[in-house]
Chains A and B, each alone.
Chain A
Amino acid sequence: DQQVKQNSPSLSVQEGRISILNCDYTNSMFDYFLWYKKYPAEGPTFLISISSIKDKNEDGRFTVFLNKSAKHLSLHIVPSQPGDSAVYFCAASSFFSGTYKYIFGTGTRLKVLA
Protein backbone atom coordinates (compact mmCIF):
# COMPACT_ATOMS: atom_id res chain seq x y z
CA ASP A 1 0.00 0.00 0.00
CA GLN A 2 1.95 2.97 -1.30
CA GLN A 3 0.89 6.10 0.54
CA VAL A 4 3.03 8.46 -1.54
CA LYS A 5 3.11 7.96 -5.29
CA GLN A 6 5.17 9.46 -8.06
CA ASN A 7 3.58 8.03 -11.18
CA SER A 8 6.12 9.36 -13.68
CA PRO A 9 9.42 7.47 -13.44
CA SER A 10 11.11 9.93 -15.78
CA LEU A 11 10.75 13.34 -17.38
CA SER A 12 12.76 15.18 -20.05
CA VAL A 13 12.66 18.95 -20.41
CA GLN A 14 14.53 21.46 -22.54
CA GLU A 15 16.88 23.85 -20.78
CA GLY A 16 15.12 27.10 -19.91
CA ARG A 17 11.64 25.56 -19.89
CA ILE A 18 9.52 24.65 -16.88
CA SER A 19 9.84 21.24 -15.21
CA ILE A 20 6.77 19.99 -13.35
CA LEU A 21 7.11 16.98 -11.11
CA ASN A 22 4.01 15.47 -9.55
CA CYS A 23 3.25 13.53 -6.41
CA ASP A 24 0.01 12.06 -5.03
CA TYR A 25 -0.71 10.85 -1.52
CA THR A 26 -3.47 8.86 0.11
CA ASN A 27 -3.20 9.56 3.84
CA SER A 28 -5.11 12.69 4.88
CA MET A 29 -3.13 12.77 8.15
CA PHE A 30 0.02 13.94 6.33
CA ASP A 31 0.67 17.56 7.31
CA TYR A 32 4.14 18.32 5.98
CA PHE A 33 5.51 17.67 2.53
CA LEU A 34 9.04 17.82 1.18
CA TRP A 35 10.97 17.50 -2.06
CA TYR A 36 14.46 16.05 -2.26
CA LYS A 37 16.95 15.94 -5.10
CA LYS A 38 19.38 13.07 -5.49
CA TYR A 39 22.48 12.79 -7.64
CA PRO A 40 24.10 9.39 -8.31
CA ALA A 41 26.29 8.09 -5.47
CA GLU A 42 25.09 10.85 -3.14
CA GLY A 43 22.42 11.08 -0.48
CA PRO A 44 19.12 12.91 -1.04
CA THR A 45 19.41 16.67 -0.54
CA PHE A 46 16.52 18.68 0.85
CA LEU A 47 15.08 21.17 -1.67
CA ILE A 48 11.86 22.69 -0.41
CA SER A 49 8.96 21.89 1.89
CA ILE A 50 5.39 22.97 2.54
CA SER A 51 3.09 22.74 5.51
CA SER A 52 -0.50 21.59 5.02
CA ILE A 53 -1.75 25.02 6.10
CA LYS A 54 -0.29 26.55 2.94
CA ASP A 55 -0.94 25.90 -0.72
CA LYS A 56 2.27 27.34 -2.17
CA ASN A 57 5.88 27.82 -1.15
CA GLU A 58 8.59 29.41 -3.25
CA ASP A 59 12.37 29.35 -3.03
CA GLY A 60 14.19 30.84 -5.97
CA ARG A 61 13.57 28.72 -9.06
CA PHE A 62 11.65 26.12 -7.06
CA THR A 63 7.97 26.33 -6.16
CA VAL A 64 5.90 23.65 -4.47
CA PHE A 65 2.12 23.62 -4.80
CA LEU A 66 -0.19 21.68 -2.51
CA ASN A 67 -3.78 20.76 -3.37
CA LYS A 68 -5.17 19.13 -0.24
CA SER A 69 -8.57 18.30 -1.68
CA ALA A 70 -6.93 16.36 -4.50
CA LYS A 71 -4.15 15.03 -2.23
CA HIS A 72 -1.66 16.21 -4.79
CA LEU A 73 1.53 18.21 -4.72
CA SER A 74 3.82 19.37 -7.47
CA LEU A 75 7.27 20.86 -7.81
CA HIS A 76 7.87 23.50 -10.47
CA ILE A 77 11.39 24.36 -11.57
CA VAL A 78 11.67 27.53 -13.64
CA PRO A 79 13.85 27.91 -15.61
CA SER A 80 15.24 24.38 -15.77
CA GLN A 81 19.01 24.02 -15.97
CA PRO A 82 21.19 21.03 -16.94
CA GLY A 83 22.43 20.86 -13.31
CA ASP A 84 18.86 20.10 -12.26
CA SER A 85 19.15 16.66 -13.88
CA ALA A 86 18.71 14.27 -10.97
CA VAL A 87 16.18 11.99 -9.30
CA TYR A 88 13.52 13.89 -7.34
CA PHE A 89 11.72 12.33 -4.39
CA CYS A 90 8.64 13.69 -2.73
CA ALA A 91 7.99 12.84 0.90
CA ALA A 92 5.16 13.31 3.35
CA SER A 93 5.11 13.21 7.10
CA SER A 94 2.62 12.76 9.90
CA PHE A 95 2.85 12.35 13.65
CA PHE A 96 2.65 8.70 14.58
CA SER A 97 3.71 6.74 17.68
CA GLY A 98 5.51 9.61 19.33
CA THR A 99 7.37 11.06 16.38
CA TYR A 100 7.06 12.26 12.83
CA LYS A 101 7.33 9.54 10.20
CA TYR A 102 8.49 10.41 6.70
CA ILE A 103 7.17 8.37 3.75
CA PHE A 104 8.88 8.71 0.39
CA GLY A 105 7.70 8.26 -3.16
CA THR A 106 9.60 6.15 -5.67
CA GLY A 107 11.24 9.10 -7.41
CA THR A 108 11.13 10.80 -10.81
CA ARG A 109 14.28 11.03 -12.91
CA LEU A 110 14.50 14.49 -14.47
CA LYS A 111 16.72 15.07 -17.45
CA VAL A 112 17.24 18.66 -18.59
CA LEU A 113 18.44 18.79 -22.17
CA ALA A 114 20.90 21.50 -23.17
Chain B
Amino acid sequence: NAGVTQTPKFRVLKTGQSMTLLCAQDMNHEYMYWYRQDPGMGLRLIHYSVGEGTTAKGEVPDGYNVSRLKKQNFLLGLESAAPSQTSVYFCASRRDRGNSPLHFGNGTRLTVT
Protein backbone atom coordinates (compact mmCIF):
# COMPACT_ATOMS: atom_id res chain seq x y z
CA ASN B 1 0.00 0.00 0.00
CA ALA B 2 1.87 3.08 -1.28
CA GLY B 3 -0.47 5.75 0.19
CA VAL B 4 0.16 9.13 -1.47
CA THR B 5 2.87 9.22 -4.15
CA GLN B 6 4.26 12.42 -5.65
CA THR B 7 6.34 12.73 -8.78
CA PRO B 8 8.86 14.10 -9.45
CA LYS B 9 10.78 14.42 -6.16
CA PHE B 10 12.95 17.29 -7.41
CA ARG B 11 12.81 19.69 -10.31
CA VAL B 12 14.63 22.80 -11.45
CA LEU B 13 12.86 25.14 -13.85
CA LYS B 14 13.82 28.35 -15.57
CA THR B 15 11.51 31.34 -15.23
CA GLY B 16 8.67 31.05 -17.73
CA GLN B 17 8.83 27.29 -18.15
CA SER B 18 5.85 25.09 -17.38
CA MET B 19 5.50 21.79 -15.57
CA THR B 20 2.99 19.45 -13.98
CA LEU B 21 3.32 17.81 -10.59
CA LEU B 22 1.53 14.50 -10.22
CA CYS B 23 -0.11 13.18 -7.08
CA ALA B 24 -1.53 9.67 -6.93
CA GLN B 25 -3.28 7.98 -4.01
CA ASP B 26 -4.33 4.35 -3.70
CA MET B 27 -6.61 4.70 -0.65
CA ASN B 28 -9.78 5.52 -2.58
CA HIS B 29 -9.95 8.91 -0.86
CA GLU B 30 -12.45 11.48 -2.09
CA TYR B 31 -10.65 14.61 -0.96
CA MET B 32 -7.28 15.74 -2.23
CA TYR B 33 -5.21 18.85 -1.51
CA TRP B 34 -2.11 20.65 -2.73
CA TYR B 35 -0.03 22.61 -0.21
CA ARG B 36 3.21 24.52 -0.46
CA GLN B 37 5.71 24.81 2.38
CA ASP B 38 7.97 27.80 2.69
CA PRO B 39 10.38 28.69 5.52
CA GLY B 40 8.59 30.44 8.38
CA MET B 41 5.20 30.15 6.69
CA GLY B 42 4.04 26.64 7.44
CA LEU B 43 1.86 24.80 4.93
CA ARG B 44 -0.42 26.91 2.77
CA LEU B 45 -3.30 25.50 0.75
CA ILE B 46 -3.07 26.08 -3.01
CA HIS B 47 -6.04 24.14 -4.42
CA TYR B 48 -8.19 21.24 -3.34
CA SER B 49 -10.71 18.77 -4.72
CA VAL B 50 -13.77 17.22 -3.08
CA GLY B 51 -14.13 14.51 -5.71
CA GLU B 52 -13.41 13.42 -9.25
CA GLY B 53 -14.00 16.25 -11.71
CA THR B 54 -14.10 18.98 -9.05
CA THR B 55 -11.49 21.55 -8.01
CA ALA B 56 -11.51 24.68 -5.85
CA LYS B 57 -9.13 27.45 -4.84
CA GLY B 58 -7.31 27.56 -1.54
CA GLU B 59 -5.37 30.37 0.16
CA VAL B 60 -2.65 30.88 -2.49
CA PRO B 61 -4.01 29.72 -5.89
CA ASP B 62 -2.49 32.36 -8.17
CA GLY B 63 -0.10 30.99 -10.79
CA TYR B 64 -1.33 27.41 -10.41
CA ASN B 65 -3.96 25.25 -12.06
CA VAL B 66 -5.21 21.81 -11.07
CA SER B 67 -7.15 18.94 -12.53
CA ARG B 68 -8.82 15.84 -11.08
CA LEU B 69 -9.82 13.77 -14.06
CA LYS B 70 -9.50 10.50 -12.14
CA LYS B 71 -10.34 9.95 -8.47
CA GLN B 72 -6.87 8.68 -7.65
CA ASN B 73 -4.91 11.49 -9.33
CA PHE B 74 -4.60 15.21 -8.60
CA LEU B 75 -2.37 17.25 -10.91
CA LEU B 76 -0.84 20.64 -10.11
CA GLY B 77 0.28 22.74 -13.06
CA LEU B 78 2.51 25.77 -13.33
CA GLU B 79 1.96 27.44 -16.69
CA SER B 80 4.72 30.03 -16.44
CA ALA B 81 7.01 29.42 -13.48
CA ALA B 82 8.28 32.33 -11.38
CA PRO B 83 11.05 32.40 -8.73
CA SER B 84 8.34 33.04 -6.10
CA GLN B 85 7.09 29.52 -6.79
CA THR B 86 10.32 28.00 -5.50
CA SER B 87 8.99 25.84 -2.68
CA VAL B 88 8.31 22.34 -1.47
CA TYR B 89 4.94 21.09 -2.66
CA PHE B 90 2.95 18.53 -0.72
CA CYS B 91 -0.10 16.62 -1.85
CA ALA B 92 -2.51 15.19 0.69
CA SER B 93 -5.69 13.16 0.68
CA ARG B 94 -8.30 12.22 3.22
CA ARG B 95 -11.08 9.73 3.59
CA ASP B 96 -14.54 11.01 4.13
CA ARG B 97 -17.01 13.83 4.54
CA GLY B 98 -16.41 14.38 8.23
CA ASN B 99 -13.25 15.50 9.92
CA SER B 100 -10.41 13.07 9.30
CA PRO B 101 -6.62 13.35 9.14
CA LEU B 102 -4.81 14.34 5.98
CA HIS B 103 -2.34 11.81 4.59
CA PHE B 104 0.64 13.45 2.90
CA GLY B 105 3.04 12.47 0.17
CA ASN B 106 6.77 13.02 0.52
CA GLY B 107 6.83 16.26 -1.41
CA THR B 108 8.31 17.75 -4.55
CA ARG B 109 11.12 20.26 -4.16
CA LEU B 110 10.87 22.81 -6.95
CA THR B 111 13.45 25.47 -7.69
CA VAL B 112 12.73 28.21 -10.23
CA THR B 113 15.79 30.15 -11.39
A and B are partners in one complex rather than unrelated chains: yes
Residue of B nearest to A6 (CB): B42
Beyond the given pairs A49-B99, A49-B101, A100-B31, 9 more chain A to chain B contacts, judged by CB atoms under 8 angstroms and listed by A's residue number, are A31-B99, A34-B102, A42-B106, A43-B92, A43-B107, A100-B98, A101-B45, A103-B45, A107-B42
Is A97 in the interface zone, CB < 8 Å from B?
yes
> Does B43 contact A97, Cβ atoms closer than 8 Å?
no
What band does the interface of chain A fall in when counting residues whose beta carbon is under 8 Å from B?
20 to 34
Contacts of B4 in A (CB 8 A): 43
**Interface SS, B side:** strand
What band does the interface of chain B fall in when counting residues whose beta carbon is under 8 Å from A?
20 to 34
Within 8 A of A (CB), among B94-111: 98-99, 101-107
Q: Given A49-B101, A102-B33, is A44 in contact with B43 using a C-beta cutoff of 8 Å? A: yes
- Cross-chain contact of B104 among A44, A49, A106 (Cβ < 8 A): A44
Binding site for B on A (CB under 8 A): 4, 6, 31-32, 34, 36, 41-46, 49, 51, 89, 91, 93, 97-107
A103 CA to B42 CA, complexed, in Å? 9
A97 CA to B55 CA, complexed, in Å? 12
Contacts of A104 in B (CB 8 A): 35, 42-44
